[in-house]
Amino acid sequence: METSPISSPHKSERYVPAIDGMRAIAILLVLSSHLGAERFVPGGFGVTLFFFISGYLITGLMIREQDETNTISISSFYIRRFLRLGPALMAMILTVSLFFLIINPIPPAQIFAAIFYYTNYYKIIFEPPTTPLDPMWSLAVEEHYYLLFPLAFSAFWGHRRRFLLALIAVTAVVLIWRFTLVLGWHASMNRTYLATDTRIDSILYGAILAVLIKCYPAKVAAYSKLFWSAGIAALLASLIYRNAIFRETLRYSLQGLALIPLFYSVLFARLFLLVRVILESRPMIWIGKVSYSLYLWHFAVLLFADYEIPARGPYWLALNIALDFILVSCSYYLIEQHFQKIRQRFR
């Protein structure tokens, strides 16, 4: 079966529609799991897929900026990241914190943790009760990556092969660290699932793919052609195998390695043309574009629906969907799109 690329990932493409479709898959996995299908839907993998996409896109953007300007503006990068993520996040935190004063007040310490992106470590250390801000743990992991990775890229991209080897080495170190925590210190699942130091490799695998595409485009295409089926098998194995030690150690590494050839093939190989048609359909692209706002709001909506309709059923589900649609549309069109225009000034 022919799997040669039909569109080149090696050109400076500013938008690949199928990536929005991949974002849609990720958020639908998370949303379905939280809405009660966790026994059948791998919501955790949805977050891992988000991480991978972030690593791939951010690294690709920095490579393109370096190619076009021969430099990286760290300050502009941070400003763009804040304008992309910050306004919608702050609006959600303010609205939800005020609204839930009536239902179940959110501890100020947890609000503070969400604002300053350390919800993951706050949850690990204090094990607070469930609140609408719980999903902010993954934003903390990504923000820590955004803070550190551009500095490393700017400093070491001149030695590309060494930079790539360093990324691979970090993923290996993170895996060893997870084994140490689980087998040596009997760390809790929260410790390995939520912490930046144990989950950053899920983002770095996406970064590795972006660097490989830049440095070894022909080899990436050839290896993806050979190993996309192995990627599917490894991904399925990581989702099906339920051993506790495996799930908190090797699972994330196996998923990251599986996504490298599979992600590339889905985006660029002829064999996956039908998959791309689905990913690039209007509903999938729209869901992908609003996925950030949907991730921000969906858990607060779920807790409110639980408060209003304690017995989960069709009415409970309808309330979730209706409120998600209203709040997400407001967040995306009134906040995200407005600040997107301002972001353009810093490109």
pLDDT tens for 194-209 read 999 999 999 999 999 9
Work out the pLDDT band at 347, boundaries 50, 70, 90.
confident
Lowest mean pLDDT among 6-15, 176-185, 238-247: 6-15
pLDDT at 4: 37
pLDDT at 9: 59
pLDDT tens for 22-65 read 999 999 999 999 999 999 999 999 999 999 999 999 999 999 99
Nearest-angstrom CA–CA distance, 114 and 120: 9
Work out the pLDDT band at 3, boundaries 50, 70, 90.
very low
pLDDT tens for 209-219 read 999 999 999 99
pLDDT at 1: 34
Token pair belonging to 205:
């695998």
Nearest to 175 by CA among 208, 150, 202, 211: 202
**Rg of the chain (C-alpha set):** 20
Query: Hunting for tokens 């949850």 — which residue is that?
Result: 123
pLDDT at 15: 85
pLDDT at 29: 98
Nearest-angstrom CA–CA distance, 202 and 195: 12
pLDDT at 346: 80
Calculate the average pLDDT of the chain: 94
Backbone angles phi, psi at 62, to 5 degrees: -70, -40
pLDDT tens for 95-114 read 999 999 999 999 999 999 99
pLDDT tens for 131-165 read 999 999 999 999 999 999 999 999 999 999 999 99
Instruction: Please report, for the chain, the start and end positions of each structural domain, with discontinuous segments joined by +.
Output: 17-346
Please give the share of the chain, as a percent, with pLDDT higher than 70: 96
Q: For the chain, how long is the longest CA-to-CA vector?
A: 59
pLDDT at 345: 84
Do the Cβ atoms of 72 and 66 come closer than 8 Å? yes
pLDDT at 6: 41
